[in-house]
Structure 1
Amino acid sequence: MTAEIIDGKAFAATIRDKVAGHVARLKEEHGITPGLAVVLVGEDPASQVYVRNKGKMTREVGMESVEHRLPEDTSEADLLSLVEHLNADPAIHGILVQLPLPDHIDSDKVINAIAPAKDVDGFHISNVGLLGTGQKSMVPCTPLGCLMMLRDQLGSLSGLDAVVIGRSNIVGKPMAHLLLGDSCTVTIAHSRTKNLAEVVKRADIVVAAVGRPQMVPGDWIKPGATVIDVGINRVPGEGEKMRLVGDVDFASASERAGAITPVPGGVGPMTIACLLANTVTACCRANGLAEPEGLTA
């Protein structure tokens, strides 16, 4: 068996096209332009790249992009003051504070200062609680992207056995709640799970988000299972170059799985696409308009 490759780059482009269509209709029919504010504190190179890409794609789909780049020594009080200002700005529908923040700033305090309705990362404790109890919430972007790809690949997920490897607040836990919401039977596993191989072998769906390069070998995969690899790990490549690999051993797993996401080019491109989708959703909710179909959980 050779697995079907789930092309996250192409799927993300489809999501962005849908977002652009909704944005155009909001402008034409209601005179509303969704606005996304991104706040970056410090000079972290990876964060700068992410923020630049987010701004570019936000503008490409027709939304307003507002960037606040603050110095490394910005005080927590000043950052909270900026968040409060953005909360009160009716032109801003989504707020994202790029993580990680400098050590002198309490990330939880900042995240929980964002108005829950504008929390397009889905990290606010209110959104976490709403998602966990099956209520309408803002959903973290990476798990939302994974869910979209699974629905597209499999149709109904009802009754399928799903294993999520990883228990982070950003991916593992919200992913499990989303799968439960689609009536999967869900197991959250992790690096300390006993008989992890046996747990994974029974799964129709495997979502690997543990952050260990190629931790999941192909012989753990049930024949025909769908594998979503969230891991992005840098390992030595040829010469002095580094290469990206996932948490799953792609070569061996693709010989057993029915479908699998590659790394890179799988889950990664979906994260920014879902951030844009969340911003449109937040805009519609703020204005009492119907939510866009196909862009929410």
Structure 2
Amino acid sequence: MSGAISFTVQLTAAVTAGESRSLCRRAEALGYAGISISDHFSAQLAPIPALAAAAAITERVRLGFNVLANDFRHPAVLAKELATIDVLSDGRLVAGIGAGWMTHDYHATGIALDRPGVRIERLAEAVTILRGLWGEGPFSFAGSHYRINELDGLPKPVQKLPPILIGGGAPRVLGLAGRVADVVGIALDNRTGAVGTHTWQSARVASTHDKLSWIAKGAEGRANPPRVSVRVLHVAVTDHRARAAADFAESAGLDADEALSSPHTLIGTVGEIVADLRSRQQTLGLSDYVVSQSALDTLAPVLAAI
């Protein structure tokens, strides 16, 4: 596989209004393809108003979520809010959604944390509802978790159907993503509900092959399989690649080779990182990456070189 390699920058920390405007404008000026935000009850900005604000101060970048937790909003409400962002951005929305996973989010808020299978069933129904309400005319739906009764979803998005990204790192959710998503966001395996050293075990390239196979199995029979994006969680632009890889590997419970080959890391000189990106594009079919806002300027030379 060949073609353009793209980067989206993820807003990961709350900032002032001025800092937010500066960050979004700089991302666009540096050549990032998109701006995204996740959905947790932490210090980050609330995702939907944050992207609405980003829509007002940018002109080119795609605006997305990586990802919204489906359990936090009814899909009928979400359909309207996302369509509004698509209107305000003149058709730049990427509707990223997932089943929800972080135990603390659920326990702290009192939102019911159902077993994964139930959450994934709800996610599948929510995707159907989003597309139904973005389509023409009134829409009805009777599922196991949601009911919609002759609701005409207004406003309609500028895009006929905004692309839906489903994110996850486990077999069932990635199988669903393969079946119904336009884009699949590969994450680390978060089935324990918390982030720790154990999480990085699923960053190995062998685990990525497993995840790609789950997506491919879900996508069997589709004329246009989904694109795949990867969340990059460690960036080090350095002349000391081996040392940086060894230091990170120790903290993540990996060996240095595993740290370097993981698609969730970018470690080395600009040239070495570009070579890694090209190699992953050829061997894994990966072209789209999401990086944290802390890497915005660090990766600027890489964006200029690809």
Normalising to structure 2: TM-score of the pair? 0.29
Higher RCO (CA < 8 A, seq sep 6+)? 1
Structure having the higher helix fraction is: 2
Normalising to structure 1: TM-score of the pair? 0.29
